[in-house]
Amino acid sequence: MQELNPKEIFKKVLHHKKVEKVPVCSATQTGILELMELSGAFWPEANYNAEKMASLALAGHELAGFENVRVPFCCTVLAETLGCTVAKGAVDMQPYVIDFPYKEKKDLRQLKLPENLLESPRTTPVLNAVELLQEKVGEEIPVLAGVVGPAGLSLMLAGIRNYLMWFMTSPESVETLLESCTEACIEYANALLARGADAIVLIDSEAGPDILAPEMLKTSILPKYQKICKKIEGPKILHMCGDASAVLSPLSKVGFEGISIEEKVSVRAAREIVGNRVALIGNVSPSDTLLTKGPVLIKKEAKACLADGIDILAPGCGLAPMTPLKNVKALVEARDEYYIEPTPQKQT
């Protein structure tokens, strides 16, 4: 029987089919300093230049061992396109929002999606990088594209104080923001898929229980997710930082093919909650483990994820720039060792 390539394996997992080995991917950002040095593609340029962005993403596969490529490396692409002021960051710092356009509710009267959403100085390089990556990896390696979700975008556009306060005092303002941001996400995500992305990663931690009460997610955010899942024309993975355990059940029913969880969520408990409705992705700690510990402890944590039933072994969130390359490589090593070690440790 012909051996499946990483893209075929990735697609099987998202369709809830069994594979011989769990893939090792990253649903979140993969840019680390060692990869920048080896590829010659450094931040901040690699966040704004398509060729550099593609080169750094490809290094995550070719040099670090991830069985996918993933762009971009920051969460400010749509935010800046929709009106936020963004600092470019540095070689060891991602771009970040320094000012936002909707400081008062009356400012929302001016809220309108730009006609050139897909031609902005931020969206254009990502779209081009996806096309370049698709040309380079062809049908062998899955290309993942990250898009900040409607909750995250709303927070950046209104500031965290307004975002939280308006949920309580001005739900119509929140609805206006969320609806516009949802439309932006859908338009951008479909363009990324058309240019060659194999899956969209919706990053929306600002909808999670660390920020919003679960009731607010159910009433305000879930309808937007249902719309996103209906209108985005390809596989969708939701990434949510923090302990999302309290909302995993409703999140697993709206139409995402996968959910990416961080280490605060128990993989075993998450599997009990979501069953086989979605693929679980994660959740080796990027800060406590991949950044600060060595390969031995990394492998221990990774193998525990595998034993507990993770579907795609991955960092629980984006890699810190100072993460050692040898530590990232240890993820693939852990997966390979897991499948040749004695079986009692494996989930039954």
- Under DSSP, the state recorded for 247 is G
Three-state SS at 219: helix
pLDDT in tens, 47-91: 999 999 999 999 999 999 999 999 999 999 999 999 999 999 999
How much is the average pLDDT of 320-344? 92
**Residue pair 303/338 in contact by the 8 Å Cβ criterion:** yes
User: Cis link prior to 6 (omega < 30° from 0)?
Assistant: no
Task: Label residue 343 by pLDDT band (50, 70, 90).
Answer: low
Give the C-alpha distances (Å, rounded to integers) separating 175 from 1, 71, 169, 178: 52, 29, 12, 5
* Domain edges within the chain: 6-338
The predicted model gives 178-191 an average pLDDT of 98
Cβ-contact 244, 207 below 8 angstroms: no
Q: What is the pTM of this model?
A: 0.96
Q: Which of 21, 69, 14, 70 is nearest to 280 (CA)?
A: 14
DSSP letter for 74, please: S
User: What three-state secondary structure class fits 20?
Assistant: coil
In angstroms, the CA 147 to CA 229 distance is 13
CATH 3.20.20.10 fits 6-338, yes or no: no
- Of 243, 241, 278, nearest in space to 257 by CA: 278
How large is the average pLDDT for residues 296-317?
A: 97
pLDDT tens for each residue of 116-135: 999 999 999 999 999 999 99
